[in-house]
Structure 1
Amino acid sequence: MSAVLHDGTAMLGRHLRRIRHAPAITVMTQTMPIVFLLFFGYVFGSALAMPGAEYRAFLVPGMLVATAANGIMTGMFTAAQDSHRGVMDRFRTLPVSRSAVPLGQSAADLLTTAAGLVPLLLVGLAMGWRAEGGWLRTAGAFGLLLLFRCAATWMGILLGLASQSEEAAGQLGSATFMLPLLSNAYIPVDGMPAWLRVIAEWNPISAVTTALRDLFGNAPVPEGAAWPVAHPVAGSLAWCAVLIALCAPLAVRRYARGES
C-alpha cells in the first residue's frame, strides 16, 4: 500500500506538471461550462415555463454535473495520448506499481476539477443561484459531485486505454457531450416522450443532478420518477460505486497488460 501511495503521488505530480505546461485542454474544458451556463441561462431560460431566475437556479446544479461528466472525455483523451505515444510502455519498464499510473491521472484530474469549479460557481452566484440547504448539505453536494467526477474519469481512462488511436479517443470523447442532453441537467424531463423520459431518468447524470438540487435546496425531488431519481442521493452513490468498481480494476488490468 505504501508503494502504491508513493508511486501514485509521483504520477500525480507528473500529471499536474503536464497540465501546467499544456494548459489548453484544461482551459477549454473549464471555460466551456461557463459559456454554456450563460447561454442556457439567458437564452433557453426565456423559452421555458420557469421564470428566468428560477431556471438559472435549476440550471446551475445541472451544469456542475455536466462538467463532472466531462471527466469521461478528459480521462479518455489523456490515457489514449499516453498509451499511443509510448509513455505507458516506458512506465511498464520501471519499478512502479501498476495501479499507481492510472491512479495518479485520476487524482490529478480530481484536483484540477475542484479548482476549476470555482469560476463556474462564481458565475452561478452572479446569475442569482444560491445554495439554500445549509452548509452540511452543501458540503455533501460537493463531495457527491467530486465522487461522480472520479467515477467518470475512471470510465474515461478505461476507454482511453482500450481505444485504437488518439483520433478515435478524441472522436468518442467529443460524442460524450450528448450525455447531459439525455438527462435532466438542462431541462425538466416531464415533457419528454415516455420512452425518452425513461432513458433520461436512468442516466446517472440525472440522479446526481437531482441529488445536488435537493441538497442545495434548489428544487424538490420529483414524484413518480424512476428509482435513481426518486432516491437521488442513494441512486447517485450506487451509480458511482458501480462505475468505479467496474472501471478502475479493468483500467489497471488493461494498463498492466499493455493491450492496444
Structure 2
Amino acid sequence: MELVKVSQQIQGNEVLSGINLSFQRGGFYGIIGPNGVGKSTLLQLLAGTAQPVSGSVMLNGGEMSEIPRKHLARKLAVLQQGGLPPAGFTVREVVGMGRFPYQSWLGGEEDDPSSIIDEALEAMGLSGLQQRRLVQLSGGERQRVALAKLMVQQPSILLLDEPTTYLDIGYQIALLDIVKSWQRQKNLLVIAVLHDLNLAALYCDELIALHDGKVASKGEPAEVLTEQLIRELYGTGALIVSHPLTGAPQIMLQPGL
C-alpha cells in the first residue's frame, strides 16, 4: 500500500502536507504524535473515507478512490476509535456482519460462512459469549467483538484508530497480542494510531511521528523515540530506557516540578 504526496484541508487549514509514505504488507506501523497533528486524518485518507486535496492514495498501483467500496472492504478493514456502541444484537450477529463484502444483494453467500465466524469467535475468546447481546458486555468485550467482526472480513490491510482507548492495561495487552499474532499468521499490513508510546514501541515494526502536519521522524522505534523528539513533539522531558525483556525503547516521563 502506498501513500504519495498527500495534503488534506479542513475548514481552510492545511492539516497534512508533504506526506510521502509507503506501507508494505507484513509490516506493523504505528502513527504517533500529539493531539491535532493529523493522525486520524491520515488514517481516514488510507481508509478512503477522506480524499486528499492534492496527491493520491495508491493501493497495489491503483488509485484507491477508483476501487468500488465493497471490493475495497475485502482488502481493508478499519477498527474505529471507541469500538462498537452497546446494541441489542447478539455477539454472533455482530461478528457475522463482517461478511457483508462477500454477500449478494439478497444478503446470502455462495458458501456457508459459519466456520469463519466460529474461528474468529474462538480467536477472540468469545465463543462462550456469542449469544449475549452487546448491551450486556463490558467495553473491553465489545472491543474484542469489533475485532472479531474485522477478522471475518478477511482483510489483508488492517487500520486501527486508537484501539486501546478506554481499555485497562490488561485488555490493552491482550488486544494488541491478538492483533500481532493475527498479523503474523496472515501476513497482514497493520497501521495503527497509538497514543501510548510504550505500547507502540513494543508492538510496531516502524513508527511514523507526525508534527505540524508533516512527518517529523520515521523508522524503527529505537530510531524514532528519542528524548529530543519527545520534547519537540510533546513539550515534556523523558528518559528513554530499554525494555529488559524485548529491548524495545520505553519512556519514563519526568515530572515538570
Q: Report TM bin, short chain.
A: under 0.3
Q: TM-score, normalised by structure 1?
A: 0.23
Q: TM-score, normalised by structure 2?
A: 0.23
Q: Which has more strand, going by share of residues?
A: 2
